[in-house]
Structure 1
Amino acid sequence: MRLRSVLAGLAAGLAAATCLTAAGPAPAHAGPEPDHDHPCSPRVSIQRFSDALDKTTYHGIFVGNFSALAVDTDGSLAALEDRSVLFDLDPVTLRPKAAVRLADENGAELDSEGIAVEKDGTRLVSSETEPSVRRYSRDGRILDRLPVPPALLVAPAGRATPNQTFEGLTPLPGGRALLAAMEGAIAGDSPGIVRFQTWQRHHDRFRLAAQYAYRTDPGLGVPEVQALPDGRLLVLERGFTAGYGNTVRLYLADPRHATDTSGITYLTGQPGVRPVGKTLLADLVTCPSLGATAKQPQPNPLLDNIEGMTITGRDRTGRLKVVLVSDDNANPAQTTRFYYLRVRV
């Protein structure tokens, strides 16, 4: 999502971007140096961070505006830019290896926010414009478009607020189901209640399936979700306050016993509706800064507008290896930053 508070600097940022040249992957914290534990909480540690791609270009394309990450079939990082470009990044150096432009059926740019990669390399990409989820081939051709419940469409077609729709996207265990997270509440639902929509694959098509209610912390939205093999979710919650900076929290959530809300018109605290349970893993303000600097006020200079998250595997102790990325909005006051975490669930 392009946060309102930084729009004032966007034009200046885009102008600056046109003057940038491609930068190599050599800045500090970018290489495959040994990881070291720096606790953020009893269950989350940060190993390192990388600003290697901040304000760089690749073949004339601005590298930034990252809204989502996924592990591709070859082990590389698929990094989705919310201005309709999908980058293929080297998983160690982060050096871009390829870039594919995405568009809607009319060739128009998307506000692309979430990505999931299927076993055959097909890309599932969410856009919060309508909102929508489309399936793309590796070369960017549209293969299919998934159905969306009418209530989740942006008003006046539905009850959703622009730029508060499908942000998080993740395949569910087994690869035959998909989950998308709305960033904010739809009209008529209680503030702070966001809907998680799922689809089930039938042959080669996805059909609407269960929907769940998730309660965010006050003032925060959901920019990303990632499913674990047992069906639980890592949920990223994020907010921004001018003059203060970002709040970013990582939760472990469990939708397995939540109520299917797909048939409930308004979520306003009805008895018997069980939302997705959640447990705080870490508030990232408590992470050590590791020498990071911020270009705008932040409660911790390590923080920025974190939007993307993916799980790349497990370490030797069984902890999840999690990578986060911030969306710099092409703004000179923000940073494209990758974060390497270890998470015990």
Structure 2
Amino acid sequence: MRLRTVLATATAGLTAVTCLTLAVTVPASAAPAPRDAAGRPTANACSPYADLDGFSDALDETTFDGLDVGNLSGLSVDRGGRIAAVSDRSVLFDLDVHQGGGAPRATVAAGMPIADENGGQLDSEAVVVDHDGTYLITSETEPSIRRYDRAGHLVGRLPVPSYLQVAPAGRAQSNLTFEGLTLLPGGHTLVASMEESIAGDDQDLTRLQTWNRVGDSDAFTLGRQYGFRLDPGLGISEIASTGDGRLLVLERGFTAGFGNTVRLYAADLRGASDTSGITDLTASSGARLIRTTLVADIGRCPSLGATARQPQPNPLLDNIEGLTVTGRTPDGRLRLLMISDNNDNPDQVTRLYSLTVRLPRR
């Protein structure tokens, strides 16, 4: 996936907000010093809401059964507590990951190529393991969401609004479509996030599309759609359900000579307008956007000894694209895994991150 260049100033995204509404509690540039839930400074804190437990580069530059373990763009909890990880080179891996107070420990347990209807490769960006164990996997080429069985065989495909298709079939930009995918609690609502805006929409606005499950089947029909305001220069790389109806939204961008910017937001869909009937999502369209709260600017996390192969504002950073919630701590905080996509670039790294997050109050 193409990375947007972070703008030199944040003012560009603040113009013409006439009728659109958005609640962000604090801009990243003004984030308070890291402290824990009791207000005490903590060495592992990224923000008042998030702690970095550790990171691991154990998967970097490795192979499994002849498959390169890299270009990893999406994560999802699989059966038995393992982690499904999809590569944008059309490969699905099964990772054995252990978390618990420190750096995550990860090994590859299985890997298999996946393909489209014609046997061609996908630009696969996100994965969800459904209740029956099948995999729902996005490709941002068309875009599409396809269903695969446990052996990697294609068994179905979800409908996609025509205007979200890549031009000239639709209004989306090539390589900037379905980057994120998650199931809401109960498994009846699927959500996919467009990485960036479509033609006719304001450039700082993107759309989240939902599907509703038909009964207890594996079929989904198109549901509501929501508008999301992007930080200047960033795009959505992943979304994950928090278990309480909200989403975690991962935004990231890249600036040559500077490095990556990666931010994690809590997003509340309640009260947001259904934008599926809005042709042009703009400041004058009257839509109520998804309300967001900054959870962490990952660049403010402690580096914990990480090194970078290219300029970065924090050597911990890279092209972080995958995110999933793996469980809760005894005190109710969320355990998260994130992973970076190395883009087949020797100057980048495949890095797994373990975080603990306390969600902001609604």
TM-score by length of structure 2 reads: 0.85
For 2:60, the aligned partner's letter is D
Of residues 89, 102, 106, the one that matches 1:83 is 89
Distance in 2 (CA, whole Å) between partners of 1:329 and 1:301 is 17
CA distance in 2, matches of 1:280, 1:169: 20
- 2:70 alignment counterpart: 64
1:230 alignment counterpart: 244
Alpha-carbon distance between aligned partners in 1 of 2:86 and 2:280, rounded to the nearest angstrom: 32
- For residues 89 and 337 of structure 2, the distance between their equivalents in structure 1, rounded to whole angstroms, comes to 21
* Residue 326 (structure 2) pairs with residue 307 (structure 1): no
Gaps of 5+ in 1: 6-35
Higher relative contact order (CA 8 A, sep 6+): 2
Shift in Å at residue 4 of structure 1?
A: 8.4
Q: What secondary structure, in the 3-state scheme, does the structure 2 residue paired with 1:151 have? A: helix
Query: 2:346 aligned to 321, 332, 340, which one?
Result: 332
Amino acid at match of 2:212: Q
Q: Residue 286 of structure 2 is aligned with which of 260, 269, 272?
A: 272
Q: Distance in 2 between matches of 1:52 and 1:2?
A: 25
Partners of 2:43 and 2:74 in 1: how far apart? 25
- Deviating more after overlay: 90-99 vs 137-146: 90-99
**Aligned partners of 2:158 and 2:284: how far apart in 1?**
29
Deviates more, 1:310-319 or 1:152-161: 310-319
- Residue 200 (structure 2) pairs with residue 188 (structure 1): yes
**2:47 is equivalent to residue 41 of structure 1:** yes
Note if contact 1:73-1:120 (Cα within 8 Å) is conserved in structure 2.
Answer: no
Following TM superposition, by how much is the alpha carbon of 1:269 offset from its aligned partner in structure 2, in angstroms?
1.4
Once the two structures are TM-superposed, the CA of residue 59 in structure 1 deviates from its matched residue by 1.3
More off after superposition, 270-279 vs 131-140: 270-279
Partner amino acid for 2:80?
Answer: D
1:287 and 2:293 equivalent? no
SS in 2 for 1:86: strand
Structure 2 counterpart of 1:26: none
Is structure 2 residue 330 aligned with structure 1 residue 316? yes
Partner of 1:128: 140
Q: 1:97 aligns with which of 90, 104, 109?
A: 109
Q: Distance in 2 between matches of 1:48 and 1:228?
A: 21
- AA aligned to 1:296 is Q
Contact 2:4–2:235 under 8 Å retained in 1: no
Describe the superposition over 1:182-235 as per-residue Cα deviations: whole angstroms up to 9, x where unpaired: 000000000110100000011421100000000010110000000122211100
Shift of 1:271: 5.1
The farther-off stretch of 135-144 and 90-99 is 90-99
Distance in 2, matches of 1:3 and 1:78, equals 24
Structure-2 change in CA distance of 1:87 and 1:132 (3 Å): same
Assess if the C-alpha contact under 8 Å between 2:72 and 2:342 holds in 1.
Answer: yes
Structure 2 distance, partners of 1:151, 1:63, is 34
CA drift of 1:307 comes to 0.1
Q: Is 1:328–1:334's contact at 8 Å kept on the other side of the alignment?
A: yes
Normalised by the size of structure 1, how large is the TM-score? 0.89
Provide the C-alpha distance between the structure 1 equivalents of 2:244 and 2:4, rounded to a whole number of angstroms: 36
Decide whether aligned partners of structure 1 residues 4 and 214 sit closer, same or farther in structure 2, where only a CA change above 3 A counts.
closer
Taking a change above 3 Å as real, the CA distance of residues 240 and 292 of structure 1, as seen in their structure-2 partners, is: same
- The 2-side partners of 1:80 and 1:143 are apart by 17
Provide the rounded CA distance (Å) in 1 between the counterparts of 2:331 and 2:92. Answer: 32
CA drift of 1:61 comes to 0.9
Q: Give the superposed CA RMSD.
A: 1.3
Change (3 A) 1:187 1:271: closer
Shift of 1:286: 0.7
Letter in 2 for 1:311: V
List structure 1 segments (4+ residues) > 6 angstroms apart after TM superposition: none
Identity of aligned residues (%): 60
Q: Which whole-Å CA distance do the structure 1 matches of 2:185 and 2:4 have between them? A: 35
User: Structure 1: how far apart are the matches of 2:118 and 2:312?
Assistant: 40
Q: Which residue of 1 aligns with 2:189?
A: 177
Q: Which amino acid aligns with 2:248?
A: L
1:228-279 Cα deviation digits (max 9, x unpaired)? 2221110001000000000000000101210000011001113531000100
The residue number in structure 2 matching 1:51 is 57
Give the whole-Å Cα distance in 2 for the aligned partners of 1:285 and 1:3.
17
Is 1:113 paired with 2:119?
Answer: no
Change in Cα spacing, 1:4 to 1:212, as seen in structure 2 (3 Å) is closer
Number of residue-to-residue matches in the alignment? 315
Q: Distance in 2 between matches of 1:88 and 1:244?
A: 33
Distance 2:130 2:239 in 1: 16
For the structure 1 residues 2 and 102, does the alpha-carbon distance in structure 2 shift closer, same or farther, using more than 3 Å as the test? farther
1:168 aligns with 2:180: yes
Given that 1:37 and 1:47 are in contact with CA atoms closer than 8 Å, whether structure 2 keeps it comes out as no
> Paired residue for 1:159?
171
